[in-house]
Amino acid sequence: MAEDDTQPDPERAIELLWGAAEPERPGLSLGRIVAAAVEVADAEGLAALSMRKVAERFGTTTMSLYRYVPGKAELVELMRDAVYGEFPMEPSDGLGWRAGLERWARRAWEMHRRHPWLVHSAGTRRLPGPNIMAGYDHALDVASRTGLAPAQVIAVVNLVGGFVESVARQAGETAELQRRTGVSHERWWSERESLFERLDGYPALDRLWKAGGMDVPLDPFDFGLQRTLDGVQTLVDSQGSEVMRDEIGGGECVMCGKPLDGGGRGRPRDYCSRACQQRAYRKRQAQPD
């Protein structure tokens, strides 16, 4: 139960995340403990979070919290899943893959902006709870509309999610420095005249600066998200070209009825695109044995 533990007991954390919901009753409860911990982390950062500070919010002792959660590491796992639950995704049946992934990414960006500590809780061995898995499954479903191969669909979701986390981490570090020092990012850099005087020997930087390239910086999230999705679009287009060239035979697509180009190479195929092929696969998987 040490306060400096960073890795939770995985089996205990899974039990807490996926166990039956506790009945609502007055007084101390696991849900109220998690909500109070989120408030502490929102106000002071994850490093400042402790079981003692959470207990103080209830006017009780630290030991009383251990009846509900073993320690800070497991508490953080519960906090992560709780804040994901604040941003449920609506059905997106009418959206294409790009619009759907953009909406998912913007929802994740807003979540990180509301809870900057979230990026500091990330890691390769963090345990997902039901809210986190619901969001991930939603993104996978949207990305599957690209018609890409299954491994590529997973990689696309991880790519977009990783971009959001990267930008959120940079924004969080900037905000934390401003909170801790009381000096804004813009003011701090505007006072670095002694540095700017030494930058004349860099011609590309000087040229772009004089051309106004730094007057109105592009929003890093909006610019980066669109360029990330452009890269996915390029992959989708290239895969589509391969399907049309190598896989399409004569007749009609068995999924949508679209006529197939009979000029393709190789044996005839049943689908007009990889998207229809993926839909057929999902339909087969959904059918009972």
The three-class DSSP label of residue 252 is strand
Helices 51-58 and 30-44 pack at an angle, to 10 degrees, of 110
Closest CA to 171 of 115, 103, 104, 229: 115
pLDDT at 110: 94
pTM for the structure as a whole: 0.74
pLDDT at 155: 96
CB atoms under 10 Å from CB of 49, counted, come to 24
Distance in angstroms (rounded) separating the CA atoms of residues 72 and 50: 7
Q: To which H or E segment does residue 7 belong? A: none
The torsion region of residue 182 among left (phi > 0), alpha (psi -120 to 50) and beta comes to: left
What are the φ and ψ backbone dihedral angles of 71, each rounded to 5 degrees?
180, -175
Q: Which residues of the chain have pLDDT under 50?
A: 1-4, 241, 243-250, 263-268, 289
pLDDT at 284: 65
pLDDT at 182: 86
Distance in angstroms (rounded) separating the CA atoms of residues 39 and 191: 34
Contacts of 48 (CB under 8 A, 6+ apart): 40, 41
Closest CA to 175 of 36, 81, 42: 42
Cα torsion 279, 285, 286, 289 to 10°: value is 150
Lookup: tokens for 46: 């994850």
